[in-house]
Structure 1
Amino acid sequence: MESMLKKLVREVDSYILEAQGFLQILNAHSQYITIQTGQSRQAPITPSPTKRTCLGDTASKEVWVGTPFPGSRSWDSEDNDEEWGRTHSLSSQSTKVRVPQKLEKIWKLKHGTPVLATALSSFTRHAFTCGSDGVKVWSLASQTVENPVPETHLHIQTQGSMVHTCHLTSDSTTLLMAGNSVAGVSVWDLKAPTLHMKSKLPSSGFACQALASSLENNLALGSLSNGIIRIWDLRSGQVVRYSPDPATKIVVMDQQVWAGSQEGSLQCWDLQNLTEPQKYQFDSQITALSPHPQEDFVLVGLSSGQQWLQPTSGGLRQMVGCKEDTILDLTFSPKGQWWVSVGMDNLLSIYHMPAGTPGLQVARSSSIVCCDVAQNDRLLITGSRNHCTLYQIQY
């Protein structure tokens, strides 16, 4: 009888821990569902005995610690020699269709706290996982390790602070990171032999909810919690422009900025010229955006679970699939022949262009909040609860 009671207590404790973890995720991801406005305090980052870079706003300094990257660089991009021309016709897809036939789970990256964002860099062969305790950097140079550990941990110790958004530039050589109670937007140089923060973009104490960039124009964009989209020059770090229209998600496509709001408004405006934005209205909150890498479409994910292809050069939008619950993230594959969509339905779902034909699905035990696909079209990563899962894509 006593042993049965002990077993029951252990099971109850396990359920309580799971419930607490789930509540942490819901609280941390409330910004995916509802914009949280107001100022956030700047958070000090604790130093480490290894080599460090100290940069920050005038009011405070942050210390981020880096370790050397492996000498190896870009992954081999097999089958990436096929060139596509940009067009705005869905019928112009490549004749050589490559869609995933199988997802093989390689690693479970145990971040330790609820994961809020993730990214894969083909340039350095690294995965980045972001959460309330900072950013962890995982080397993917060798996929034979059974229990991987982070190569670097960029700590945050201030209570209530978190890194909940990160963005890789299109060439995978620069990483932008931001969040709540974190001073400004950190710009990391992934080309350097040591993980190096080369600049800090000021955000006037406001939380940054989404990031985007334009390498062609040397610009970074951040959607702040005060309802302003701020645009910085990546070379000088200076603010060059504001947009007064609030947004929870932003992407850059050529010279266009696409911004989605909590009210379901999708706006498009020119990155160079101050013109009146084009506006498109959806029925529910825009929770995810992804520009097509080759064609003139932006993929829109909604809190209702709907997915839409919005033409960037005029024309009627097209609904391309629907999930059973809120979409939290989605992204096109590097060639744009398919995309991955994740959310509160506990499913990793793959859809095929051009009509959104359902493909592979992987069920998880809880909501999947973020995802990314490597530029070599071979690896896919998702974040759920306190860990990320890395998959190898088989065609």
Structure 2
Amino acid sequence: MERIDILGYRPDRHKVFTKELLSQTDDKVLHNIVKKAAEELSSPMAMINIVLDHIQLFKSSFGLPATLEAAGGTHRDVSFCQYVVKNDQYFKVSDAKHNKEVPQQLVSEYGISSYLGVPIYIDEVVIGSLCVLDTKSREFTKNDIKVLEKLAKLVNRRLKSITEKRNQNRLEITESALLPGIRELIETLKPIQDSIYKGYANASAVSSYMNCSKYLLFNNHLFDETPRLNFEAAQEANSQNIDMLANIEMALADVTDCVNALKNLTLNTAYSHLSEIIISAQDLSRNSTKAVGGFGIPDFPSDPLIYTKNNIAVAIVTNCILAITNELINRNAKDGILIQIVEGDSNNILIQMSSQNLDAVAYQKIHDSLTILLNSEPHVSLNADEKGICLSFNTVV
């Protein structure tokens, strides 16, 4: 058959296909690797291919026919690399023309006769292959496979370096987590300023009473209705000042908590205790979650150190809370969010988030909206079922 598609639809691989990974730029490091692969295995052609849903993308190549080089890729169902991805192991073809189990288009059009490909990975997900091709039939040896697998490790290292531009994604996570905290700062400052203005007005009332008292004391004037009314006004003003001071004190406490949480987002510390992360996330999301009933700090059966860096862990938890909050706001629900901590195995801890107002469909929607934010964090996983959203963090042993 000219075309064969054995891979099928694999959405689990989508999370690693970043813009940086799929950009077709002339990467000298990758080019040197494919050139070395061709030389080491005495093959006229070598390629680094990324196998996508419909095409295989030539990330780097050496020795290809001009038309194939210019195309920059082929349809996936004519590729040999799809077999590498499908089986997550090396795949070899000694005589493609007489092997009807592989697609024949490249055989008939470009005379490809033999092929050897080994997997390449991003975050332990097989994305394609490093391969060599020849127009002559040949048997690839165990040593050939070993050499190519060694070079594939260099490819993995380089691709990881390229995709670490994902730090921009981390910045976007942090920024989206910062916004509600900043909004809370702004909203909290408004009543503080209003209280100050009222404080000035009340202080004037107190001053008026004091002026009357001063006059009475120094002039021995008999009490009449005016100073008595002034006294009552001053007493009421003083009571209001006490109430406003209490409001200011609570508002400032909220501001302090929020500022501390924002500070945590800027601290790139290696590890943090789980309780610190949850508290910071609560402080950052409070201005939003109060509209749906808020959430309480959960009980901690233990308080492990989280492997994920502090600012990223806080941002991830905050974004999960905000995603649930937005869904509750859309439903005009106000029964709050329930957060529970569950110990996993010896290397991870689970944060379970749920609401009695949400169902499995809502949780899956939330999960899908958050997945892209987590595709660069190997020590965090996200799951959803009818019970809620579950974040799993690796812990420091």
TM bucket normalised to smaller: under 0.3
Higher relative CO (Cα under 8 Å, sequence separation at least 6) belongs to 1
Taking structure 2 as the reference length, what is the TM-score of the superposition?
0.24
TM normalised by structure 1 equals 0.25
**Which is greater in Rg?**
2
Higher strand proportion = 1
